[in-house]
Amino acid sequence: MSSNISDGSSSFKDLIDWFKWPLTYLKIVGSCCVVAVIAAIIYQKRKNQQIKSAKDQNNKTIDDYSYRDLFHFFINPEFHVDKLPLAKEFSERMHAEAAQYMMEDHPDNPDFPDHFTYIPYDKDKVNKRLDYIFNRLFKEKYLDWYEAGQPATSDSRYWWAQTKLHLTTYLIQRQPYHLTDGVWLRGVNQGPMSSIQAKLFAIYIDELGNGNPSQNHCNVYLDILESLGLQVPPIYSREFVDQELILEISFKKPLLTLTTSLFPKTFEPEILGYTLWLETTAPAEHAGLRKILDRYDLNSNFSLLHTAIDNNVNGHGRYAREAVELYLDQIRETQGDQAVEEHWKRIWTGYVAYGMTGNIDNALRELYEKQKVLTPREEFIELIKKKAPTAQKMHGSRRVGPEGLFLNDMFASGDAEKLCDQLAQSELIVKGDPGASPLINHAVSFQGPMYQVFDSDELTIISRWILSLKPSTLNDMLSLILQRRKFSNKIIKDLILQLPDGSSHSLRQLIEGKPSELLAAFRASQWTIPFDGHKLTEENVDTCPLMRALARAGPLEHIFNRDGEDKQIIRQWLLDGASLLNETLQDSTSSEKNGVNILSHEGFKFQY
């Protein structure tokens, strides 16, 4: 009986257990369903957010992006195909502004009031107009400046080259423009081509160096920057456009060439206009820049290439005019005279758009004023403080400066000013020459122990500080000689001075010749040594033959103002070591590298 009860109880339990499994299964399935529903909701929400984000991106207008952003997009167009409508819109906007601007003279034009003023097309009149523009620009930007003594003062045409530090800031601003040299022609046909396209392609291959990397215009400009200790990121990288020391406006002019070149058929007349502007105005720009680069011991090949190539005799200036004439002749044959005027107006619109877009002068002047507030030394000290927490553990037993202090201890001390001064007196720094300073050319290079410790902006801060360590008295002295050479006929006693190579020249010949040779003659003839032969000091500097030559009845009495600023400039040049040009030239400026051979039109010699 009890056994039967037990069996019944067991059966009932089994029955209950049998029902539990389906219930458990249903719970598991239900839980999975809940999880699946939640996951689906989250997925859909994220997808909607992505769609909304993509939609927002697509709804962005050209004004939602900076010039930096747009430059980055269109130097890399294959990765930003969705932005192509913005490229076209930017070009059209700049062309519309130019088309309105060119219909009247502008007294505030930085060149001259009627530079960009439109005239109807007549082949002879247009050529005369272009000759007028070329000659006037060359006279005002170079010849008049040259006759005035090539001043590089705050009130001169080359106000942005007052010192090597000023010039470096200017060259940094021109990176986006000069490192994309030739890009406006990147859409020129590469297959069968017309005579028009052949002219443009001839210009394009010259800009690229005719297959010679050392004459590629972008590479030559990069050489100048690197000689200043500047390490420029690749132009295709985001880091390039994110360089804080490059002004926003500096990206605007090259941006126009990037956007327009993506539509070479749509904007063919405007591209012809770009070419005409560049090749007409470049010689005037580069003749003076070449002299400025020479003055600061920088490789002037960049400007020499342009003054040789961009001429109206058998160079790019002629090619540009011929391409325009051929194009308009073709339009006349196929579409008639009215179409010629319409297309000429578009060509001149391109000329004006390229010329007037992205003027950096006002922004650069503002930047110079800001840099007066925060000096290169103060910038560098702030950089030391920024790096100190990490740097104080990284230098092991490395010592620095005349006191031989441990670098780690210097960083840990918090005395950034003292570390700055110790570095300035160390073997890591060549004052005034970042490119020759081991801190730049070794320590932070690919082979050095500090590779990638600094970004490009930080390296620029270091280079600016090194440049600031050498006074600009050499430039002041060169400018002074150039301004006073017109008084050479007032020399009464024409002395003979020696040059370092042992040759002799009269004082008048030297003053009328190269300023650098006159300074070298002062040194070689011992005019920079005090009477007692001791180290030059404030106390004995006035006993130097050069200073005594300024005195009454001295050979230089009527050349320099002995009671004013002239005397102070000469005095300071002596106290700063009577430095000369070419004393810090590196191997990178050897004569072999400086050779210029223009393959497409040999035989032309640019005269000025």
pLDDT at 538: 93
pLDDT at 574: 94
Query: Residue 160: which of 412, 594, 497, 475 has the closest Cα?
Result: 475
CA–CA dist 270, 316 (Å, integer): 17
pLDDT at 391: 86
pLDDT at 595: 40
Q: What is the DSSP letter of 432?
A: T
- Give the percent of the chain with pLDDT over 90: 59
The band of 6, judged by pLDDT with boundaries at 50, 70 and 90, is: low
pLDDT at 16 over 80: no
The band of 21, judged by pLDDT with boundaries at 50, 70 and 90, is: low
**pTM for the full model?**
0.79
pLDDT at 19: 57
Most confident among 331-340, 409-418, 588-597 (mean pLDDT): 331-340
CA–CA dist 248, 245 (Å, integer): 9
CA–CA dist 501, 524 (Å, integer): 9
Between 191 and 318, the higher pLDDT residue? 318
**Which region holds residue 580: left if phi is over 0, alpha if psi is between -120 and 50, else beta?**
beta
pLDDT at 561: 81
Domains and CATH numbers, the chain: 90-371 (1.20.910.10), 374-468 (no CATH), 473-578 (no CATH)
The residue type found at 454 is: F
pLDDT at 113: 94
pLDDT at 601: 37
pLDDT at 23: 58
The size of the chain, in residues, is 608
The band of 590, judged by pLDDT with boundaries at 50, 70 and 90, is: very low
Between 382 and 148, the higher pLDDT residue? 382
Q: In what helix (H) or strand (E) does residue 506 lie, and over which residues does it extend?
A: strand 504-506
Q: Mean pLDDT over all residues of the chain?
A: 86
328 Cβ neighbours under 8 A, 6+ residues apart: 121, 340, 343, 344, 347
pLDDT at 263 over 70: yes
CA–CA dist 495, 324 (Å, integer): 57
Mean pLDDT of 413-436: 92
Q: How many CB atoms lie within 10 A of CB 157?
A: 17
pLDDT in tens, 537-568: 999 999 999 999 998 888 998 899 877 789 99
Least confident of 314-323, 325-334, 462-471, 596-605: 596-605
445 Cβ neighbours under 8 A, 6+ residues apart: 451
The band of 4, judged by pLDDT with boundaries at 50, 70 and 90, is: low
Determine the 3-state secondary structure of 175 from DSSP.
helix
Task: Label residues 177-202 b or e (16+ Cβ within 10 Å = b).
Answer: bbbbbbbbbbbbeeeeeeebbebbbb
- Give the percent of the chain with pLDDT over 70: 85
Token pair belonging to 426: 């160390």
Question: In terms of DSSP H, where are the helices of 336-472?
Answer: 337-356, 361-373, 376-391, 407-413, 416-424, 438, 456-468
The band of 288, judged by pLDDT with boundaries at 50, 70 and 90, is: very high
pLDDT at 587: 32
pLDDT at 35 over 50: yes
pLDDT at 394: 84
